[in-house]
């Protein structure tokens, strides 16, 4: 619908085009109009507002009456039907020799009266808030998950438990076991806390995971509470709320020497994971860290390394200025790292956000 002011503006433009020698039909075509529409707008001297929103329309002859709508509401709230969808109710009514309306009409009437999802014992759906955490230094937020390594025969697996630091992406803890259990996860968390010296500290530590049974086991939760670690979990049925853990597993499984054909024993699996963890933490230049290794970020060496890189680039620019059209490469990294950052603008400082 075009407002009266826009209609008048279109008439003026077409008049100017015609006075300049253009044909009225072609000028109308440029604006997406027909000459008939232009003539209607000019009929009474000045264009009027579109009258379609104010038109009185006759109700369709096949529209449900108020009594029929009320009959549908009474039917869907009967004890025999109150927990059934219309796709079940309409055929049952037909078996009884009754037809009131189609399934889609039942759905429409129920939707109008907010009955579609909340009849019987069903509860109103609750949207889970996004699990978001921020880290400004190592050992503030850990993420963990479980994946498997192929065993010696098809259908046999060894399970890799792995804990990743959000700030540095360092693999701070890992272990291989034959099965998934909260007891194994509890042991791994205790060993990781000792190795990272997180026992005597005032800063809170968050351990994020998905909703698997080992992650929610009573043994693991009791261990976390005793160590002062806050458990955090992804939203139900949301697979990308723990993206960094999934990413490191993908890196693991696409290593050139990944044992695609399986490992012969648990000791062989542990030996391979040990080599992978050493490569990942000490040799792998992580793209998410501006090509630092996780160990360099974890140990606080980022600023010195970036300063050295900047000097190398500045020297290269001075030696060959014609090869540089602008500034040298940005060797820097954000001081805060977010797990599932919220889309709303955040104005607080990094320290305030993470508390």
Kindly state whether residue 59 falls inside one of the protein's structural domains: no
Please give the residue range of the domain that contains residue 44. 4-50
- Alpha carbon distance 33, 243 (integer Å): 51
- Alpha carbon distance 69, 61 (integer Å): 15
The reported pLDDT for the residue numbered 1 is 67
Indicate if 235 and 350 belong to the same structural domain: yes
Indicate if 149 and 31 belong to the same structural domain: no
The reported pLDDT for the residue numbered 353 is 52
Indicate if 239 and 262 belong to the same structural domain: yes
C-alpha torsion 151→157→163→164, nearest 10: 70
Kindly state whether residue 187 falls inside one of the protein's structural domains: yes
Indicate if 244 and 201 belong to the same structural domain: yes
Indicate if 168 and 220 belong to the same structural domain: yes
Indicate if 13 and 108 belong to the same structural domain: no
Contact 208, 232 (CB under 8 A): yes
Kindly state whether residue 320 falls inside one of the protein's structural domains: yes
- Work out how many domains the chain is built from and give that number: 3
Mark which of 85, 112, 139 sits at the end of a domain.
112
Indicate if 159 and 33 belong to the same structural domain: no
Indicate if 18 and 137 belong to the same structural domain: no
Indicate if 33 and 136 belong to the same structural domain: no
Kindly state whether residue 311 falls inside one of the protein's structural domains: yes
Indicate if 135 and 95 belong to the same structural domain: no
pLDDT exceeds cutoff 60 at 352: no
Indicate if 341 and 194 belong to the same structural domain: yes
Kindly state whether residue 60 falls inside one of the protein's structural domains: no
CATH of the domain at 292: 3.30.420.10
3-class DSSP state of 91: helix
| Residue-wise pLDDT tens digits, 168-189 | 999 999 999 999 999 999 999 9
Indicate if 216 and 171 belong to the same structural domain: yes
Is pLDDT larger for residue 46 or for residue 105? 105
| Residue-wise pLDDT tens digits, 39-76 | 888 886 767 777 777 778 888 888 888 999 999 999 99
* Whole-Å CA distances, 272 to 175, 179, 259, 324: 12, 18, 8, 44
- Alpha carbon distance 245, 251 (integer Å): 10
- Alpha carbon distance 70, 76 (integer Å): 10
Say how many Å lie between the first and final Cα of the chain, rounded: 51
């Amino acid at each position: 619908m075009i407002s009266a002011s826009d209609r008048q503006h279109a008439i003026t433009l077409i008049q100017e085009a015609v006075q300049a020698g253009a044909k009225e039909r072609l000028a109308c075509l440029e604006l997406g109009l027909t000459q008939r529409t232009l003539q209607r707008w000019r009929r009474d001297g000045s264009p009027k507002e579109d009258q379609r929103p104010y038109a009185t329309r006759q109700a369709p002859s096949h529209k449900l009456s108020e009594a029929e709508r009320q009959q549908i509401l009474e039917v869907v709230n009967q004890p025999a039907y109150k927990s059934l969808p219309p796709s079940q109710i309409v055929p049952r009514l037909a078996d009884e020799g009754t037809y009131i309306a189609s399934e889609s009409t039942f759905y429409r009437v129920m939707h109008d009266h907010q009955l579609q999802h909340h009849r019987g014992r069903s509860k109103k759906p609750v949207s889970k808030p996004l699990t978001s955490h921020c880290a400004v230094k190592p050992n503030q937020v850990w993420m963990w998950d479980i994946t498997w390594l192929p065993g010696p025969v098809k259908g046999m697996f060894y399970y890799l438990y792995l804990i990743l630091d959000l700030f540095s992406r360092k693999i701070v803890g890992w272990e291989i076991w034959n099965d998934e259990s909260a007891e194994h996860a509890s042991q791994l968390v205790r060993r990781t806390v000792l190795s990272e010296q997180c026992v005597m500290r005032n800063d809170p530590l968050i351990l994020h995971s998905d909703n698997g049974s080992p992650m929610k086991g009573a043994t693991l939760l009791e261990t976390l509470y005793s160590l002062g670690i806050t458990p955090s979990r992804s939203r139900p049925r949301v697979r990308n709320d723990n993206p960094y853990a999934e990413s490191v597993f993908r890196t693991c499984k696409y290593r050139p020497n990944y044992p695609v054909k399986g490992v012969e024993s648990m000791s062989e699996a542990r030996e391979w994971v040990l080599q992978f963890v050493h490569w990942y933490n000490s040799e792998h230049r992580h793209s998410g860290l501006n090509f630092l290794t996780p160990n360099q970020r974890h140990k606080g060496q980022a600023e010195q390394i970036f300063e050295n890189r900047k000097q190398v680039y500045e020297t290269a620019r001075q030696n060959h200025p014609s090869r540089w059209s602008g500034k040298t490469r940005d060797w820097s990294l954000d001081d805060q790292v977010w797990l599932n950052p919220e889309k709303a603008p955040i104005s607080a400082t990094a320290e305030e956000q993470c508390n």
